[in-house]
Chain A
């Protein structure tokens, strides 16, 4: 897969890295090419901010550094950041009106690490407001569209990142995943989405939604690319109390571990009437492929799977209702005009600044934490969370990896689910468990239904990123779903 016969924008991060090494092209050329693709796209609305000038000058510096020899692992390679990551000197909106004017004075740890490794920021991607949503329709800056069908959503909340990668506007993107917000859009856009173990990647500088569930991750086109990025992002950060001091293995080196002998769990509760038949068929085909590669498929139970969505929708709103209290128009962000008193200032700044879904979740959260309800809702949900985690612990005694569908359906049409929140929430049924239990998960493309991508999800025990990346990589060596590109973006 040489860099010469394929257009530069179709190359994977690994291929681009080789191309830069071999001087097939410079970082500046690469970045300029992608910037013009981004500029030329008027459909997707994947970006909130494009940092063109900054990108070009940083790319030039990377080229200079390369000629001197001392360079980081991602030198000159392009990346985009979901607009939930604070970027110093650059607008950081979290998809919300209340931060429409917020220029962050500091970089998130993830951004710092990427930049130190030489990655070139092309811009900040669009997302569901404050990461609350599964369709990227709640953004103040307009919805994101799916490159495979512009009438459909790319999923959410990291929809902008997923769309940008799928449309080959960038080979790499960061996202965040609280209930599936990386894996679900990856599945709906035919890309790879990785959510690491809770605590594997620092949350410092990542605007908090639900602190005990949020994790930073990546969206790429291959498992190998995801491994390259994770290697840079992962690791202990003393600025984050929930960051785990666990050694970072050689993710890229570990990709070649063979599939043979792997025990793969298939969850009985996954394949019920909630799952679209055709999606089920694609997933089953993928599972057969794994089996042919030498994996052993074992049926397992996650008996409390059904309770994972209601549990999440108590815990996440509770935490976010508190996390979002700091957005009050006092120290940063949008302040309502002519507030007549403090109460008015708070209520109108927040009333005008937040969208409907955010308000709903704040109110739900406030409710479940309030006196008299705390035990019945929040405390109860935390106990059910323990049960769900126990289910996974039990499962991992029998299997190395749990495999199944990432989403119950392929991409749905814009506006389809905005009327009923519950239908939207049920989208997350397969992904949420991993957040509640803090487990690493990855979604890889495994086929198409009506020309729309379908994802296969692999979930591993804590700190088993190596395992799921290797399985994904091995799977991608025997199929080419991940190389399919939406027609409009070839």
Chain B
């Protein structure tokens, strides 16, 4: 693609923390409330109001810092970022500048070749979100909803260590997975709980100095991030190869046209005049606090994945899917523990049938209509030969529809596999007798017709005949004497 150019990407991810109340006020931190019903006087920036810091916000940031092997600052400071915009009620955003709560962390991703690669995380800091501005639909006006004003954000800033859009996505997915594992964010991109800005630049291979970078905003899905970055890379290379210079600017991604374009600057001058917020005091965290938080750390995706490969002998690709979310991983393990057979079978069913059913109904695994022990029960019936794999799918659907447990359904519908050899022989003989033409064709060399006969036997038995036995009996019966 670009043999002469090296791409340098850094990501800034804004993560809404899943607390009950906002960062500096006791208003609710929930998505989707009616306009301006979740903004209290503090969030509205009324005269005389003051901020008070939410304890869980500190815990969550600390948890994240531990999960990425970072330094959790024992002392951090909130600073005011001053600028005017109607959805920023105080005329400043309370953020962190010189002394963030977390810094110098890292995580591992797989690079384009599939090798392990370390990505540095410069810092993660706390800040409050602004409200929402709606520019359409209000007749020459912009409408402001301040429900979101004051909700807690953790801004995670990576080192410019990413070298391709694919790596950027891998990193983003990793962070997404971690914050959900830690239960500090629901990672819901549609609701804006997980937003990404990308800083992209290119430089000739071998050059140490970084090229001029642009900042891409408004990237609210993984797909858009990838497309936007790729578009921008190509655009910058084109500019440079034509002898031009890349302009340092902020660009928005337009998903309809699949292109980035410059944003009209919203602040004429970008001097934010940061200074420590005098309404807040420095936050001091001691070792005991950090130790308490550390106790609450769950097994993280990487560690879980390795364990699944070793403990359950699963295919690596499968472990990647199973550990994407803690809920799925936990579900899988609950099935595996209750199932005597190979865990890979459980994995296949969770990734296959169960996922299909969940997707079909748009339901999360915690709301699955079939619980893990029930699924394990079903798999056990395949394992012990009570039913065939194919019939099991029918039973699965019936279980999903609420018709009962696996055993109850097998009984009620008489789905037990037919394994009695004499019964099978009887039906095989009947099928052979009924289809002399095909018998002749088979016997003159058309081996593929075995499938036809199997199908006929299955039809006669309502799919319940043991497929393996049917094959055996057919083959022996059809053999030319």
* Contact between chain A and chain B defined by CB under 8 Å: yes
Name A residues whose Cβ lies closer than 8 Å to a Cβ of B. Answer: 85-86, 92, 94, 99, 102, 104-106, 108, 203-208, 210-212, 238-242, 318-319, 322, 324-328, 330-332, 342, 346, 366, 369-371, 374, 378
Q: A331 touching B89 by the CB < 8 A rule?
A: yes
Q: A322 touching B82 by the CB < 8 A rule?
A: yes
Q: B53 touching A370 by the CB < 8 A rule?
A: no
Q: 18 new A-B pairs (CB below 8 Å) besides A106-B46, A205-B49, A378-B275?
A: A85-B48, A92-B47, A102-B47, A108-B48, A208-B48, A208-B50, A239-B50, A240-B52, A241-B50, A241-B279, A241-B281, A326-B47, A327-B47, A332-B47, A342-B86, A366-B273, A371-B271, A374-B273
Min Cβ gap B37→A in Å is: 15
Which of B91, B142, B279 meets A326, CB within 8 Å? Answer: B91
Q: A370 touching B271 by the CB < 8 A rule?
A: yes
Which of B44, B91, B144 meets A325, CB within 8 Å? Answer: B91
Q: Of all chain B residues, which has the CB nearest A86?
A: B48
Q: A208 touching B279 by the CB < 8 A rule?
A: yes
- Which of A94, A331, A374 has its CB near the most chain B CB atoms (within 10 A)? A331
Q: Of all chain B residues, which has the CB nearest A202?
A: B50
Q: A206 touching B90 by the CB < 8 A rule?
A: no
A328-B82 Cα distance, complex, nearest whole Å: 14
A370-B272 Cα distance, complex, nearest whole Å: 8
Q: A369 touching B273 by the CB < 8 A rule?
A: yes
A-B contact pairs, 26 of them (CB 8 A): A94-B47, A104-B48, A204-B50, A205-B48, A205-B49, A206-B48, A208-B279, A212-B278, A241-B281, A242-B278, A318-B275, A319-B278, A322-B91, A322-B273, A322-B275, A326-B90, A326-B91, A330-B89, A330-B144, A331-B45, A331-B46, A331-B89, A342-B142, A369-B273, A370-B273, A378-B275
Q: A326 touching B280 by the CB < 8 A rule?
A: no
Q: A330 touching B53 by the CB < 8 A rule?
A: no
- Which of B51, B52, B280 has its CB near the most chain A CB atoms (within 10 A)? B52
Min Cβ gap B351→A in Å is: 49
Q: Of all chain B residues, which has the CB nearest A208?
A: B48
Contacts of A325 in B (CB 8 A): 82, 84, 90-92
A366-B80 Cα distance, complex, nearest whole Å: 13
A327-B89 Cα distance, complex, nearest whole Å: 9
Q: Do A322 and B80 form a contact, CB below 8 Å, given A238-B52, A366-B273? A: yes
Contacts of A99 in B (CB 8 A): 47
Min Cβ gap A369→B in Å is: 4
Q: How large is the interface on B (under 10, 10 to 19, 20 to 34, 35 or more residues)?
A: 20 to 34
* Cβ contacts B90-104/A at 8 Å (1 or 0 each): 111000000000000
Q: Name the interface residues of B53-106: CB closer than 8 Å to any CB of A.
A: 53, 80, 82, 84, 86, 89-92
Which of A204, A241, A318, A342 meets B48, CB within 8 Å? Answer: A204
Contacts of B274 in A (CB 8 A): 374
A332-B48 Cα distance, complex, nearest whole Å: 13
A359-B89 Cα distance, complex, nearest whole Å: 20
Q: A346 touching B84 by the CB < 8 A rule?
A: yes
Q: Of all chain A residues, which has the CB nearest B87?
A: A330
A231-B47 Cα distance, complex, nearest whole Å: 26
Interface of B is mostly: loop
B41 within 8 A of A: yes
Q: Name the interface residues of B17-64: CB closer than 8 Å to any CB of A.
A: 41, 44-53
A223-B50 Cα distance, complex, nearest whole Å: 30
A324-B47 Cα distance, complex, nearest whole Å: 9
Q: B52 touching A374 by the CB < 8 A rule?
A: no
Which of B44, B51, B91, B278 meets A328, CB within 8 Å? Answer: B91
Q: Name the interface residues of B273-299: CB closer than 8 Å to any CB of A.
A: 273-275, 278-281
Min Cβ gap A209→B in Å is: 11
Q: A204 touching B92 by the CB < 8 A rule?
A: no
Q: Name the interface residues of B101-146: CB closer than 8 Å to any CB of A.
A: 142, 144
A326-B149 Cα distance, complex, nearest whole Å: 14
Q: Do A242 and B46 form a contact, CB below 8 Å, given A322-B92, A326-B90, A346-B84? A: no
A211-B49 Cα distance, complex, nearest whole Å: 11
Min Cβ gap A144→B in Å is: 21
Q: A328 touching B84 by the CB < 8 A rule?
A: yes
Min Cβ gap A249→B in Å is: 24
Min Cβ gap A243→B in Å is: 9
Q: A241 touching B47 by the CB < 8 A rule?
A: no
Q: B50 touching A326 by the CB < 8 A rule?
A: no
Q: B281 touching A242 by the CB < 8 A rule?
A: yes
A327-B281 Cα distance, complex, nearest whole Å: 24
A300-B467 Cα distance, complex, nearest whole Å: 104
Contacts of A212 in B (CB 8 A): 278
Min Cβ gap A155→B in Å is: 24
Q: A240 touching B50 by the CB < 8 A rule?
A: yes
A105-B39 Cα distance, complex, nearest whole Å: 14
Q: Of all chain A residues, which has the CB nearest B280?
A: A241
Contacts of A370 in B (CB 8 A): 271, 273
Min Cβ gap A130→B in Å is: 10
Q: Ordered nearest first, which 9 A-B pairs have the shortest CB separation? A: A325-B91, A211-B278, A369-B273, A212-B278, A205-B48, A207-B47, A326-B45, A86-B48, A326-B90
Contacts of B82 in A (CB 8 A): 322, 325, 369
Q: A242 touching B279 by the CB < 8 A rule?
A: yes
Q: A330 touching B86 by the CB < 8 A rule?
A: yes
Contacts of A342 in B (CB 8 A): 86, 142
Contacts of B86 in A (CB 8 A): 328, 330, 342
Min Cβ gap A452→B in Å is: 34
A263-B46 Cα distance, complex, nearest whole Å: 45
Q: Of all chain B residues, which has the CB nearest A378?
A: B275
Contacts of A106 in B (CB 8 A): 41, 46
Q: Of all chain B residues, which has the CB nearest A372?
A: B271
Q: Name the interface residues of B394-439: CB closer than 8 Å to any CB of A.
A: none
Contacts of B142 in A (CB 8 A): 342
A377-B99 Cα distance, complex, nearest whole Å: 20
Q: B50 touching A203 by the CB < 8 A rule?
A: yes
Q: A105 touching B80 by the CB < 8 A rule?
A: no
Q: B91 touching A371 by the CB < 8 A rule?
A: no
Contacts of B273 in A (CB 8 A): 322, 366, 369-371, 374
Q: B52 touching A239 by the CB < 8 A rule?
A: yes
A99-B46 Cα distance, complex, nearest whole Å: 12
Min Cβ gap B58→A in Å is: 13
A207-B48 Cα distance, complex, nearest whole Å: 4
Which of B44, B50, B275 meets A369, CB within 8 Å? Answer: B275
A346-B85 Cα distance, complex, nearest whole Å: 10
Q: A241 touching B51 by the CB < 8 A rule?
A: yes
Contacts of B51 in A (CB 8 A): 241
Contacts of B90 in A (CB 8 A): 325-326
A332-B53 Cα distance, complex, nearest whole Å: 25
Contacts of B271 in A (CB 8 A): 370-371
Q: A105 touching B41 by the CB < 8 A rule?
A: yes
Q: Of all chain A residues, which has the CB nearest B268?
A: A343
Min Cβ gap B89→A in Å is: 6
A328-B90 Cα distance, complex, nearest whole Å: 9
Min Cβ gap A199→B in Å is: 10
A86-B48 Cα distance, complex, nearest whole Å: 7
A54-B47 Cα distance, complex, nearest whole Å: 23
A242-B271 Cα distance, complex, nearest whole Å: 28
Min Cβ gap B40→A in Å is: 10
Min Cβ gap A299→B in Å is: 34
Contacts of A94 in B (CB 8 A): 47
Contacts of A102 in B (CB 8 A): 47
A322-B53 Cα distance, complex, nearest whole Å: 20
A211-B53 Cα distance, complex, nearest whole Å: 17
Contacts of A327 in B (CB 8 A): 47
Q: A331 touching B44 by the CB < 8 A rule?
A: yes
